[in-house]
């Protein structure tokens, strides 16, 4: 399986397969949503082989090759955000707990 390489299909769409060991479904979905203004996006889960993202431009002036590269960069950003949120969840919980501790629980 070749990952992150755009493939132009006969129907005019462009597909790219991303590696599910690097990118989770949440990151793919978040990134796909960000690009729905420029193109129609179809997501196809293929189990361990990868997640296929199909792009069809909404307008003829959209350069799909650039859009796919931007998508892949944004995908990295989204996956890192998820990882950081996961890694810092306990710290965030403690900070919020301490911030609201002075309010106490009267009753």
> What pLDDT digit, counting tens, does each position of 12-26 carry?
889 999 999 899 999
CA 21 to chain centre: 13
Q: Each residue of 34-54: pLDDT tens digit?
A: 999 999 999 988 766 889 999
Encode burial over 37-47: b for 16+ CB neighbours within 10 A, e otherwise: ebbebeeeeee
* Mean pLDDT, all residues of the chain: 90
Q: Which residue has the higher pLDDT, 77 or 48?
A: 77
> Is it the case that residue 72 has pLDDT exceeding 60?
yes
Q: Domain coordinates of the chain in residue numbers?
A: 7-102
CA distance 64 to 40: 11
- Structure confidence at residue 47 (pLDDT): 66
CA-to-CA separations, 35 to 20, 27, 74, 85, 107, in angstroms, rounded: 20, 13, 10, 22, 49
In angstroms, the first-to-last Cα distance of the chain is: 61
Q: Residue 105: its pLDDT value, please?
A: 62
């Amino acid at each position: 399986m070749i990952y992150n390489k755009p493939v132009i299909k006969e129907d005019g769409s462009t597909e790219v397969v991303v590696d599910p060991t690097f990118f989770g479904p949440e990151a793919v979905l978040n990134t796909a949503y960000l690009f729905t203004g420029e193109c129609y996006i179809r997501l196809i889960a293929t189990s361990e082989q990868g997640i296929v993202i199909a792009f069809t431009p909404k307008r003829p002036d959209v350069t799909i090759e650039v859009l796919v590269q931007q998508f892949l960069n944004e995908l990295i950003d989204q996956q890192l955000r998820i990882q950081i949120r996961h890694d810092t969840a306990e710290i965030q919980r403690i900070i919020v707990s301490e911030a609201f501790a002075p309010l106490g629980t009267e009753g």
